[in-house]
Amino acid sequence: MDNARLLKLREEMKKRGIDAYVVPTADFHESEYVGAYFRAREFLTGFTGSAGTAVVTEDKAGLWTDGRYFIQAAAQLEGSGFDLYKMGQEDVPEIPKFLEEELPEGGVVGFDGRVVNAKLAEKFQEVAEKKQGSLYVTEDLVDLIWENRPAMACTPTWILTEEYSGESTASKLKRIREKMAEEKAEYHIIASLYDIAWILNLRADDIENVPVFLSYLLIGPDKATLFIQPDETDDAVRAYLADCGVETDTYWNVYEAVKKLPENAAVLMNRKVVNYRMVSALPDGVKIIDKEDPSELMKAIKNETELTNTRRAHLKDGVAMTKFMYWLKTNVGKIPMDEYSVGCYLDNLRASQEHFLDLSFEDICAYGSNAAMMHYAATEDQKSEIHPEGMLLVDSGGHYLEGTTDITRTFILGPITPKMKLHYTTVLRCNLALANVKFLYGCGGLSMDVVCRGPLWEMGIDYRCGTGHGVGHILNVHEGPNGFRYKVVPERNDSGRFEAGMITTDEPGVYLEGEYGIRIENELICVKDEKNEYGQFMRFENITYCPIDLDGVDPELMSAREKKQLNDYHKVVYEKISPFLTEEEREWLKEYTREI
């Protein structure tokens, strides 16, 4: 049965002659996670996952999301009036195809032109033209029905000094202008909040757990302009920007600014990020050079300062995680525990570490069958009690002044079945295979993901997500263009070539609906290995330091090589973490990093 919000949206669509209306999970910058103001899709559908697009027609309403959220979305959409469309599954049409099938002749496709990127909008335009129809992009219809909508975030910016960033803004702008010259571009429009924050060495808190600020950056031949909400900068930040050759202007003035670009200018931009309304505002004669922002690859390849600092961040994070594991394993069944309270305990351990800034994402603390939902989140009101049996999956991370962390451990809390132990050990084997792979320069995650998934594929098992993602430096915990995924997914930029200095997660898993979920995740730095007549070989340095729960491991299922790899890893964990523990914790850690 249709919910009230869906009915109200259809009323607004009818008033304007709109036949299909698209509501993505997006802000004006194609950010992966969005602030409360931009959660229009969540408001409309009730689905709280970080990824998904709603499409509403006169008689149909659908929610498209990926495999991470199939279980969660099915539960949350019940009674909402929205049907679940499982992306990537057989017989599930992509959104442009669905629109083509549903749009009548002369029909109108509507969306807020600020929250749909120019590349996707082009596909919607093609659909409308096939039906002799048109687009309606000048209004946010959800805003018309959203009473008491949260305000747009506006938080103070602060400067990340070179002690932590490792490179000045002036140097970064110089490198970007060199790339602009190679592309014969006079101007460069940047809409990605991650790239702007990285280039300017500024951070803020406009998105929960993502230290960025709503802004646009326009780089010209001899000056750059940052379009930002005035209250986000103080005199010190404005003076810093001026010293870097960056002027400031009001956030909303960017549309007028791009209208005034020279008519024959060549403008570099990523149309998968820059929104449709901005591209539409450009003068007719402007030549668009549609390529990835040069800063994307630059920030993915961490400099030596960033790498050194990130290792320090992981040491702090490893201490917090190891203390958490000790507390959990020694107290489960003795004191009351639930998913929410246990997650809060871990948060407090992280917060006690020097230079802690924030969590890098909302904790996933999932017990039993809840762990089969890849992005499950317990709340104070909705949580499961934890008992001394089965498994607890904890995926968490933190931002520190030194860097960003992301780690998952699956903890054995008591008796588990042989099938659980088989799956746990196999996930471990997958993790070890990727962490210890040696490869020739030129490889991307497409080739190496097969190495990781191999042990699970041999059992006829898979997981409906990527194996790993790039990690930002005090930015978004998910970053391109590096990642591990066996196939190209157009909406995810994670198929790039691996370069020395890139940081990527290694996180295979098993998820059985109604039973349990298992994931083991470490972070890896790509480093150079030997170079010979065959070329430059590469490998990974493991920088996550926390025991892998040996209570779930069946050594009989592992090869001698795999056991040595695990033993070597645990030796490093003990050496790095033990100096920061109490005597009792140290003795416990010795047992949980023992050789098998």
pLDDT in tens, the chain (596 residues): 358 999 999 999 999 999 999 999 999 999 999 999 999 999 999 999 989 999 999 999 999 999 889 989 999 999 899 999 999 898 999 999 999 999 999 999 999 999 999 999 999 999 999 999 999 999 999 999 999 999 999 999 999 999 999 999 999 999 999 999 999 999 999 999 999 999 999 999 999 999 999 999 999 999 999 999 999 999 999 999 999 999 999 999 999 999 999 999 999 999 999 999 999 999 999 999 999 999 999 999 999 999 999 999 999 999 999 999 999 999 999 999 999 999 999 999 999 999 999 999 999 999 999 999 988 889 999 999 999 999 999 999 999 999 999 999 999 999 999 999 999 999 999 999 999 999 999 999 998 999 999 999 999 999 989 999 999 999 999 999 999 999 888 777 788 899 999 999 999 999 999 999 999 999 999 999 999 999 999 999 999 999 999 999 999 999 999 999 999 999 999 999 999 999 999 999 999 999 99
Nearest Cα residue to 494 out of 430, 449, 551, 459: 449
3-state DSSP: the chain helix, strand, coil percent, rounded to 5? 40, 20, 40
Assign 62 to helix, strand or coil.
strand
- Tell me 254's DSSP state: H
Residue 32 CA to residue 219 CA, distance in Å, equals 24
Q: How many CB atoms lie within 10 A of CB 159?
A: 16
- Report angle CA 133, 138, 140 to the nearest 5 degrees: 110
DSSP secondary structure code for residue 116 in this structure: S
Place of tokens 């409906």: 464
Asked whether the beta carbons of 474 and 403 are under 8 A apart, the reply is yes
Strand partners, 538: 439, 528
Q: Taking a C-beta distance cutoff of 8 angstroms, is the pair 217, 224 a contact? A: yes
Provide the 3-class DSSP secondary structure of residue 190: strand
Contact 589, 322 (CB under 8 A): yes
pLDDT of residue 68: 85
**Beta strands 158-159 and 202-203: pairing type?**
antiparallel
Those residues whose C-beta lies under 8 Å from the C-beta of residue 542, and which sit 6 or more positions away, are 435, 522, 523, 524, 569, 572
> 10 Å Cβ neighbour count for 439?
18
Instruction: Tell me the CA end-to-end span of the chain in Å, nearest whole number.
Output: 57
Q: Which residue has the tokens 């107290």?
A: 331
SS3 label, residue 189: strand
DSSP annotation string for 191-210: --HHHHHHHHTEE--SBTTB
Name residues whose C-beta falls within 8 Å of residue 382's C-beta, 6 or more positions apart in sequence: none
- Rg of the chain over all Cα atoms, to the nearest angstrom: 25
pLDDT at 1: 37
Four-point Cα dihedral 128, 132, 137, 142, nearest 10 = -70
Residues, the chain? 596
HSE value, Cβ hemisphere, 13 Å, CA-based, for 400: 25
Q: How far apart are CA 428 and CA 416, in angstroms?
A: 16
Q: What 3-state DSSP class applies to 529?
A: strand
Q: Three-state DSSP class for 265?
A: coil
Structure tokens at 539: 């490998």
DSSP state of 540: E
How many Å separate Cα 289 from the centre of its chain? 26
Place of tokens 């070597």: 568
Q: Hey, which residues does 356 pair with through a beta bridge?
A: 400
